[in-house]
Structure 1
Amino acid sequence: MDNSQEDIKENREIVLNYMEYLDVMAKPLIREEADEANEHIDTHETVEVPQLNFKLLDFHIVPCRLKNPPPPISRFTSPENCEKTPVLCFAFVENFMPPSFFHRLVAVCISTWPISKSGPHDQLYNGLAVFDIHKTECLTIWYKDHIIYARISCFRKDRITDFNVGLCQEVRLILLKSLRKFVSQSLENPRTPIAFEEYIQCPEMEESVHNEGMFRLDEFMYDRELKCRAASCKKTHTVERKDAMSHWYKTTLDLLDNEDDLNTPVSESDLSKVAKEIGYEYWMLGIVLGCSNQQLNTLSATHDLRKERCTFVFQYMVIWMKREGERATKQRLSRAIHAARLCLSRGDKITPVIF
């Protein structure tokens, strides 16, 4: 830009904004967005999120200037001789994701952690990047089509020490918060559409394969074990909840494991009590409980959601209870709330639901 013609220099901001609009380049969050991104998403997640480095916020990623990662890509996505988390996946609905979302996510990571090096070379490529997030851990993020993938690898020799699950949760919150912010900036009404969902790839896959062995996270809210149908897995097998969630979602996993005594029918008085504890997850909870956006829009049209949110939540929970019958238990409602709170990325205080 400094070597450009004078008229381009004079209109620098306009040119940069237009190039961002065309997805030619991407930049991280602006300072106000970064301040918000540093807040906790969920008070159930008790990890410390590192502050973004504001000195590195004023730059752009230009993907077309980056080289493709050297093959095989599995050396980055499924490294050998180290401990690895299962692959965390953010899959965008309708099989479409603007590539700028990934490039902006890379920019956020650059402003948060050092880029990992292989010899003298930065491991920053077109569609893939590696970051040193701790002394012995690195984060690899990559994307293909409509899915963004993330995996943490630990290269320490001491295999006795437990994997740093607090670090995993911390990283997930940063990625999730950033993507939610990008989505909210690109949609006229970001509350209604579900832009993307979180998945975990089968932990038993030797190499990560695009769009295979994908388990939607909220399925593990209700089932302890799910069958893997990945063609790349050598044999038919199941994946247990603890194996899928123990790294990226350890706090939520512990909450789920402590709810076995809630397998009793829910009552309207229970619903009334719970409705008072529902906050920003109120819309997503309705979706998780089986209501469509159209149904929720129709129901909410008769309420001022700023003043009557509790009544609105109570009404759709009653609809759910009557529809599910004996399956409408305290346990299933509690796990639906966990799922809704994972889907949203708010920094607001969340009140634990106690029956």
Structure 2
Amino acid sequence: MDPRYIEMYRKALRKGKEKVFNIRIMVVGPYDVGKTTLTKRLLGKEVNICDRQSTEGIDVQTECCKVSLATGEWITQDQNAEEYLRLQRLVKLFNSQVQQKSNEKEQVPTETETHVISAQQDDGQAQHSLSVKIKRHIDEEVMPSLSQPVESQVANLSLDASCDAAIEDEKKDEVMEIIRLVNGSSDKLDKSLGEYAKLGMWDFAGQYVFYTTHQTFLSYRAIYLLVLDLSQQITSLIQDECFIDISGSKQCQVQETIDTWMNLIHSCSPSPQSGIPAVILVGTHLDQIPERVRSGTQPMMSETVDFTLPSASTHADTAKDCLIYRDEVCEKYFGEIRSYLKDKPTRFHLVDEDFAIDNTVVDSKLVALKKKIVEVASQQPYWGEEVPARWILLERELMRLKDAGIKVIPRTLLEKFNEAEEVPIPTEELGLFLKFQNDIGTILYFNIEVLKDKIVLVPQWMIDALKSLITAKKFVLKKALAVADKWDMFNKSGKLSLELIDAIWTKENYPDLHDNKKHILLLMEHLNIIARPRCFSEDGSEIKVDNCFLAPCMLKEKTPERIMFPEPDPEMKNSSSVLCYHFMDKFLPSPIFHRLLATCVSRWPIAKRKSEHQIFCGCCIFSLDLHHELTVLFREYVIYVQVIRFGTTAMTPSSKLCIEVKEFITKTLANIIGNLGHSLKFEISIQCPKCDGYRVDCLIPLTDLQGNEDVPCRFHDDIHVIRSKDVLRFWFQEE
């Protein structure tokens, strides 16, 4: 082969850029509204309306479809088609380099000079970028090792140094394949050369128990479909039990769930009023609304609407009644939602068009919805962004591993692949490549010290880990009666035993989870989904806990009244003032508190009363030392923190302990929000000492207290004055 082609190929990879187009669709909304049915219909899959099953966790379908940039058509594709599309991207890059050389009037080798491979060769069998010996090593040694636990994989990563001599020949074969396609020898090559957007869909379960893991996967680089049931009023109760804060069990209204999802989406926004990410309102079950309904008052959907068609006998009486057609009913429904959100910052995310879908027929509005999704995606700032061309090669290796059924790999293996590439990604750029793949939903990668050495190739894998525990009741009761009580304990109190994990993650049921149990638990720990509690013996020495975890998202017991409404101590003789983390926009996702609680459980032992651990839905009491206890409590959009000292004489809590608590919780909250990529903000306040219990309407901003010697409190019938020094002395060093 002419070496000039080799050099042009390398130059295209080293210096070239490619525009990438990605559409990531997040299908969200309340429980049992038809999200999965909508997802399948958008992808052109068959749907049996009579056999609906609720999604558990998240159903992730990455690169399941491509969208023509020219026509907007959605085209489903298989694994081979996606690999060929990547080859086309390489062809496009190389072709642009050839054209550039031609325009510069430099001599470009002819087709005859390049000894082009026969056109009869199957275009789908693209030459791989690794040498023959490297591929053999991967297939025969590395691949089998990846079915072993992650900890044992690193030992199998050495590549045979003798294979280096074969690399150049293999690279020539790959370049010749690309040249053949550029020269038009293949009639299978799509002449648009990859002018497509990659589309993936994430179908989120509506059950509240899964929201803790949901938040890990939300991103601003996505289009959200907020799916609602048109046959329900927005004040209707959802048939799903929620455990949010100290109130314990409750059933949420549809509008509360709308609020929750809109706020979760808003918390991902890079800018409060940017409208990013975009949200499209989609109503389902249009078929359950008659074409005409009778109403004399044209009520809003939150009122009772009579969907009964007028009978013949009453036709004359109803002639004066207003006939509301389906589209008018839908307009009122969506109008009420927009009215409900009109004074909230989340309103900026709604796009200008709503969609009502009929679940029983081939609905033309599905086509319109697809078109709208592409239109909205094309308006996003990341649409058509440029990335280094050399990333394509390593992306192909990641996809090859994923297609082989590999779920997780050490980063060192990816680095070995990278070293063997024709144009490797520079070491300092590799982290950026992984971040990009994580952002578009291709992989799961956390660039933090304890997790950055592992790459999860299949995001669904991590989702299935927690889902398998939450939904294991049927399996446990039928096949593992010995651990049924362990599951009941987990379901009620969030206590997750290793015995239960082993009974569920068996080799037969979940081989990947079984083989990589340690790594999964480590991931779940560092995502603060579960925590390893601290325990101490009677002599004060710490007991190492290896067989038990706590999952705060599973806590269901309501916080006792004695904790929610403690004995008043307005003089703060035995208790500190109440430090409050007040979240802006009056929104605090419960998963944020769950993660905080998990971190606190790993820091301090849980206090006991009559041998019972004091941990409840939305609240936990920790033992700081022999005389001090810490209460951490969540109500609505505020986290309350208070330290109490117990002794025979009235003694105020240690300010040193209080300051340590404040610094730890403040830093932990900031880290949790930062790691999730959220824009949530909070302010620190102090609750008025005369308040009865924990209230969201009695908070004095820290800025007011630090800027004044005293502050009038107007939260009660009688105004009283609070000395700033009295309430700040526990949490801040005196200047």
1:105, distance to aligned residue in structure 2 (A): 1.5
Residue equivalent to 2:620: 129
Match of 1:187 among 657, 677, 681: 677
Describe how 1:152-231 pairs up with structure 2 within 5 A: 152-159=643-650, 161-187=651-677, 193=679, 195-205=681-691, 207-231=692-716
User: 2:633 aligned with 1:142, yes or no?
Assistant: yes
Which one-letter code corresponds to 1:235 in the other structure? D
Describe how 1:77-156 pairs up with structure 2 within 5 A: 83-156=574-647
- After superposition, the C-alpha distances for 1:53-84 in whole angstroms (9 at most, x for unaligned) are 99679934143344122334435586899711
* Whole-Å separation in 2 of the counterparts to 1:57 and 1:222: 50
* Whole-Å separation in 2 of the counterparts to 1:53 and 1:247: 31
1:140, distance to aligned residue in structure 2 (A): 0.6
Contact 2:607–2:629 (8 Å) recurs in 1 = yes
Q: Secondary structure at the match of 1:198?
A: strand
Residue equivalent to 2:502: 2
1:210, distance to aligned residue in structure 2 (A): 1.9
User: 2:727 aligned with 1:244, yes or no?
Assistant: yes
1:166, distance to aligned residue in structure 2 (A): 0.8
* Whole-Å separation in 1 of the counterparts to 2:642 and 2:693: 10
Contact 1:203–1:243 (8 Å) recurs in 2 = no
* Whole-Å separation in 1 of the counterparts to 2:546 and 2:687: 32
User: 2:521 aligned with 1:11, yes or no?
Assistant: no
* Whole-Å separation in 2 of the counterparts to 1:16 and 1:182: 19
1:219, distance to aligned residue in structure 2 (A): 1.8
* Whole-Å separation in 2 of the counterparts to 1:57 and 1:180: 30
Which one-letter code corresponds to 2:530 in the other structure? K
Which one-letter code corresponds to 1:211 in the other structure? V
- After superposition, the C-alpha distances for 1:82-134 in whole angstroms (9 at most, x for unaligned) are 71111111111111112112112212221121111110111011111101102
Residue equivalent to 2:564: 74
* Whole-Å separation in 2 of the counterparts to 1:57 and 1:198: 37
Contact 1:90–1:198 (8 Å) recurs in 2 = yes
Match of 1:235 among 718, 721, 725: 718
Match of 2:549 among 31, 40, 59: 59
Identity in percent: 22
1:208, distance to aligned residue in structure 2 (A): 2.5
Contact 2:645–2:652 (8 Å) recurs in 1 = no
Q: Secondary structure at the match of 2:594?
A: helix
Which one-letter code corresponds to 1:239 in the other structure? I
* Whole-Å separation in 2 of the counterparts to 1:56 and 1:118: 24
Describe how 1:265-280 pairs up with structure 2 within 5 A: none
1:237, distance to aligned residue in structure 2 (A): 0.7
Q: Secondary structure at the match of 2:605?
A: coil
Change (3 A) 1:114 1:212: same
Q: Which consecutive residues of structure 2, in runs of 5 or more, have no partner in the other structure?
A: 1-500, 533-541
User: Higher relative contact order at CA 8 Å, sep ≥6: structure 1 or structure 2?
Assistant: 1
Change (3 A) 1:72 1:138: closer
Contact 2:574–2:652 (8 Å) recurs in 1 = no
Change (3 A) 1:101 1:243: same
Contact 2:573–2:652 (8 Å) recurs in 1 = no
Q: Secondary structure at the match of 1:211?
A: coil
1:215, distance to aligned residue in structure 2 (A): 0.9
Decide which structure has greater strand share.
2
1:223, distance to aligned residue in structure 2 (A): 1.7
Which one-letter code corresponds to 1:198 in the other structure? I
1:195, distance to aligned residue in structure 2 (A): 1.1
Change (3 A) 1:162 1:96: closer
Deviation >4 Å, runs of 4+: 12-17, 52-58, 75-82
* Whole-Å separation in 1 of the counterparts to 2:563 and 2:626: 23
TM-score (norm 1): 0.54
* Whole-Å separation in 1 of the counterparts to 2:610 and 2:642: 21
Which one-letter code corresponds to 2:681 in the other structure? A
1:230, distance to aligned residue in structure 2 (A): 1.6
Change (3 A) 1:65 1:223: closer
* Whole-Å separation in 2 of the counterparts to 1:77 and 1:183: 33
Which one-letter code corresponds to 1:226 in the other structure? V
* Whole-Å separation in 1 of the counterparts to 2:668 and 2:546: 16
Which one-letter code corresponds to 1:178 in the other structure? T
* Whole-Å separation in 1 of the counterparts to 2:546 and 2:635: 26
Contact 1:139–1:152 (8 Å) recurs in 2 = yes
TM-score (norm 2): 0.27
- After superposition, the C-alpha distances for 1:234-259 in whole angstroms (9 at most, x for unaligned) are 6211212102201111x1xx22xxxx
* Whole-Å separation in 1 of the counterparts to 2:680 and 2:554: 30
Q: Which consecutive residues of structure 1, in runs of 5 or more, have no partner in the other structure?
A: 30-51, 256-355
Larger radius of gyration: 2
Contact 1:53–1:111 (8 Å) recurs in 2 = no
1:204, distance to aligned residue in structure 2 (A): 2.6
Contact 2:575–2:652 (8 Å) recurs in 1 = no
Change (3 A) 1:117 1:76: farther
Q: Secondary structure at the match of 1:3?
A: helix
Which one-letter code corresponds to 1:165 in the other structure? S
Which one-letter code corresponds to 1:27 in the other structure? I
* Whole-Å separation in 1 of the counterparts to 2:578 and 2:662: 11
Which one-letter code corresponds to 2:714 in the other structure? R
Contact 1:27–1:57 (8 Å) recurs in 2 = no
1:148, distance to aligned residue in structure 2 (A): 0.6
Report how many residues are paired: 219
Which one-letter code corresponds to 2:574 in the other structure? E
